[in-house]
Amino acid sequence: MDYTVLGQAADYLLILSYAWGLTVGPPSPTTPTFMNQTFLDYAITMIPYEKLFTGLSIIGYVWQRPYIFGISTANSLTTNAAIELAVQNNATIMFDNNSQAPYFEYTEHLSDSQVNYIVWFKDARSIDALMNFVPEYGIQGAGIWNIMTFFAQMWLVINSQYEIAKVLPEY
């Protein structure tokens, strides 16, 4: 996609660069850092960095395993719910260094069978890795989706490293 015209016409652009993991795709991190970096490398060739914001989601996905192309779908969940699910299932939360994303696997024991799941989500480490793109690229900041879900780890990282700007007028 060519963002040149948008980059020239808009005052600011928020690039929703977090839709790599989806409910209809195979299990994967929602915002792997290597994909976000590749996308930002591309975007800044057409959008002035001083007009650019990156997107940051705070949701995770649960996939039943094995994944079956065209049939399997994931369920979204908040990051807090992902952590609670790991605790409830005695799951070990692991961290993928390549994508800078946490994940865990667990098994649900039913009366006559077992169902395996994998969950990808965000934590303070992944938020920190993604927020590091702001100073690295000199972009304006990040927009958060979904701001209505409070995620303490994210706010700890952001409050400790950045000045939060209020962009909405008071009424």
- What pLDDT does residue 150 have? 83
Answer yes or no: is 23 within a domain.
Answer: yes
- Mean pLDDT, to the nearest integer, of 166-170? 68
Closest-CA residue to 121 (of 88, 165, 74)? 74
Q: Looking at the domain assignment, is residue 76 inside a domain?
A: yes
- The domain of 77 spans 4-161
- The two beta strands, 141-145 and 52-57, are parallel
Going by pLDDT thresholds of 50, 70 and 90, the confidence category of residue 167 is low
Counting the structural domains of the chain, the total is 1
Mean pLDDT of 99-103: 96
The amino acid present at 163, given as its one-letter code, is E
Write the pLDDT tens digit of every residue in 10-46: 999 888 766 665 667 788 898 888 988 998 999 999 9
124 by Cβ neighbours in 10 Å (0-12 / 13-18 / 19+) ranks as middle
Of 107, 18, 15, 14, nearest in space to 59 by CA: 18
How do residues 51-81 score in pLDDT, each as one tens digit?
A: 999 888 888 999 999 999 888 889 999 999 9
CATH of the domain at 120: 3.10.50.10
